[in-house]
């Protein structure tokens, strides 16, 4: 039997999974087929049998086992999500399109990293990244609405130290979780600066390629395939497929909607670099286009300048003329850590300790760096690939602490236990909210198997089936 902390972890995974699985579970590899029908409905939101089957596939891909209750559990997850979406629509909860696009970009990068590359992702789904974005835009937006609705429901829930202690004391001692060794690290990062010359060089090179395309010396597709820096469209000759207005960044669409069919834009700049775009076809706010991206590259001179600066800092820290923490505050260019004296916050827990696997998801180089360090030691400067921001820098790392594996306790793991206690309290609020809202919503389960063979946490059947 699961202990309270494990139950709560499971519930968090259940809810958050609904909001992150979109691209993985809903997209089907080309050629796959399912026999579809409506299984359930809440308000205007429907749940299809294919939705449940797709989620089953995702569970299998995650290496988890299925049993006779799996489909029932999946349906209840989806019913809960649809109830949140239904209420968000009633309450006019708004999610701006640019937030949806940003979320979409992050998910695509994450899934591509799991599959191997953008090219492998496109091959697996039989669609370009742009087509995936267009197809799943509304799905991701609704899931973000559900997440926002869930936050609204629990936004006033707080936990006191006495409640944390009571929660911990009520946990069966033989079922307390075993905590792996964790590390706490700090870093100083310097990023070589892009100069106006670097940017001008990239722009000039793309303008030259554009002139070759216009004159007929080279084809748009050929230049895109050989030289574009957009991995998602390069192998398709820059083809982004069909998209809807609002899918791409504003600067991109501003130039695109000036074009006639087969027209080619002048060189323009976005946050990603310099582009030219060719409109293939347009139908109202929907468009089919291809593009070429050139990204400015940092010069070797700028890289060497940053290396020299951080080498000087390294020498001063070794001599004791400045502390690592003061150097981070004064000189580090990592905005997320410099004000903490270089300490890196773990976004999963909100504290400064990392399970080594968690930090590898964000920063694969870190485990190799700290492997040979003792607590209090710092590494010599080395190249740093910032995967989250997609840029390269130079950094040094200090190992602040390394814990020993142990059974969870209040002294060493207070924040972890506090989070579990808070989550349990939030779950109580959510449980009450769900039961209150089910009575006022149209809820119907159509599939008889899901009525006769399932036992649910909430009274979905009693209201309408």
pLDDT at 166: 96
Q: Does residue 19 surpass a pLDDT of 70?
A: no
pLDDT at position 190 over 80: yes
Cβ burial of 353 (10 Å; 0-12, 13-18, 19+) is buried
Residue 210 or residue 8, greater confidence: 210
Long-range contacts formed by 447-450: CB under 8 A, 24+ apart: 447/37, 447/39, 447/40, 447/49, 450/39, 450/40, 450/71, 450/72, 450/75
> Residue ranges per domain, the chain?
4-171+410-464, 181-193+299-404, 196-294
Task: Give the range with max mean pLDDT: 101-105, 332-336, 362-366, 391-395.
Answer: 332-336
pLDDT value at 390 more than 70: no
Neighbouring C-beta atoms of residue 359, cutoff 10 Å: 21
Report pTM: 0.57
Q: Could you say which architecture CATH assigns to the domain 181-193+299-404? A: Roll (3.10)
Q: Which CATH superfamily is domain 4-171+410-464 in?
A: Porin chaperone SurA, peptide-binding domain (1.10.4030.10)
For the segment 141-150, the average pLDDT, to the nearest whole number, is 94
At 203, list the tokens.
Answer: 């722009």
| pLDDT surpassing 60 at residue 85 | yes
Tell whether the model's pLDDT for residue 451 goes beyond 70: yes
The whole-angstrom separation of Cα 15 and Cα 80 is 9
42 strand-pairing partners: 45, 443
- pLDDT at residue number 16: 31
Asked whether the predicted pLDDT for residue 295 surpasses 80, the reply is yes
Is residue 6's pLDDT more than 60?
A: no
Token duo for residue 316: 């001063």
What is the structure's pLDDT at 35? 62
Please indicate whether the domains covering 4-171+410-464 and 181-193+299-404 agree at the CATH topology level: no
Looking at residue 73, what is its pLDDT? 95
CB-CB contact of 331 with 188 (8 Å): yes
Of 178-182, 261-265, 283-287, highest mean pLDDT: 261-265
pLDDT in tens, 47-73: 999 999 989 988 887 788 888 899 999
pLDDT in tens, 332-379: 999 989 999 999 998 877 888 888 777 777 788 888 898 889 999 999
pLDDT of 241 > 90? The answer is no
* pLDDT, average across residues 171-200: 90
Q: What is the mean pLDDT of residues 83-107?
A: 89
- Please report the pLDDT score of residue 4 as a whole number: 34
- What is the percentage of the chain residues whose pLDDT exceeds 70? 90
Class of domain 196-294: alpha beta
Region 396-416: mean pLDDT is 91
pLDDT at 286: 81
Lowest average pLDDT, out of 113-127, 203-217, 228-242, goes to 113-127
- Given a cut of 90, whether residue 233 has pLDDT beyond it is no
Selection from 266, 346, 12 nearest residue 150 by Cα: 12
Report the 10 Å Cβ neighbour count for 195. Answer: 14
């Amino acid at each position: 039997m699961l202990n309270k902390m494990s139950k709560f972890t499971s519930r968090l995974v259940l809810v958050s999974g609904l909001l992150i699985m979109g691209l993985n579970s809903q997209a089907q590899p080309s050629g796959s087929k399912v026999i579809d029908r409506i299984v359930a409905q809440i308000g205007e939101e429907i749940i299809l049998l294919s939705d449940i089957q797709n989620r089953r596939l995702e569970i299998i891909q995650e290496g988890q086992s299925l049993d006779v209750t799996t489909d029932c559990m999946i349906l209840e997850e989806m019913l809960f999500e649809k109830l949140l979406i239904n209420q968000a629509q009633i309450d006019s909860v708004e999610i701006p399109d640019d937030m949806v696009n940003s979320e979409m970009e992050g998910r695509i990068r994450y899934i591509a990293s799991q599959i191997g590359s953008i090219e492998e992702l496109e091959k697996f789904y039989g669609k370009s990244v742009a087509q995936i974005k267009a197809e799943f835009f509304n799905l991701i937006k609704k899931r973000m609405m559900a997440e926002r609705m869930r936050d609204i429901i629990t936004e006033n829930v707080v936990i006191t130290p006495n409640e944390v202690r009571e929660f911990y004391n009520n946990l069966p001692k033989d079922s307390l979780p075993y905590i792996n060794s964790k590390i706490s690290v700090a870093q100083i990062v310097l990023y070589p600066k892009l100069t106006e010359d670097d940017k001008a060089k990239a722009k000039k090179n793309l303008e030259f390629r554009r002139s070759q395309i216009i004159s007929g010396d080279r084809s748009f597709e050929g230049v895109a395939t050989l030289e574009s820096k957009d991995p998602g469209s390069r192998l398709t000759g820059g083809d982004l497929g069909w998209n809807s207005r609002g899918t791409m960044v504003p600067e991109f669409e501003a130039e695109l909607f000036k074009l006639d069919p087969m027209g080619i834009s002048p060189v323009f700049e976005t946050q990603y670099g310099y582009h030219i775009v060719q409109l293939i076809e347009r139908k109202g706010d929907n468009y089919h286009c291809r593009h070429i991206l050139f990204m400015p590259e940092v010069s070797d001179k700028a890289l060497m300048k940053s290396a020299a600066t951080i080498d000087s800092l390294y020498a001063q820290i070794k001599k004791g003329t400045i502390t690592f923490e003061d150097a981070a505050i004064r000189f580090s260019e990592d905005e997320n850590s410099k004000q903490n004296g270089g300490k890196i916050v773990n976004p999963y827990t909100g504290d400064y300790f990392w399970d080594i696997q968690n930090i590898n998801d964000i920063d694969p180089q870190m485990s190799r760096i700290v492997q040979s360090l003792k607590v209090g030691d710092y590494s010599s400067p080395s190249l740093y690939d910032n995967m989250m921001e997609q840029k390269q820098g130079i950094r040094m790392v200090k190992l602040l602490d390394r814990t020993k594996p142990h059974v969870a306790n209040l002294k060493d793991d207070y924040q972890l236990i506090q989070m579990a206690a808070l989550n349990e309290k939030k779950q109580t609020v959510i449980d009450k909210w769900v039961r209150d809202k089910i009575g006022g919503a149209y809820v119907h389960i159509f599939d008889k198997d899901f009525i006769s063979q399932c036992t649910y946490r909430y009274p979905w059947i009693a209201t309408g089936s």
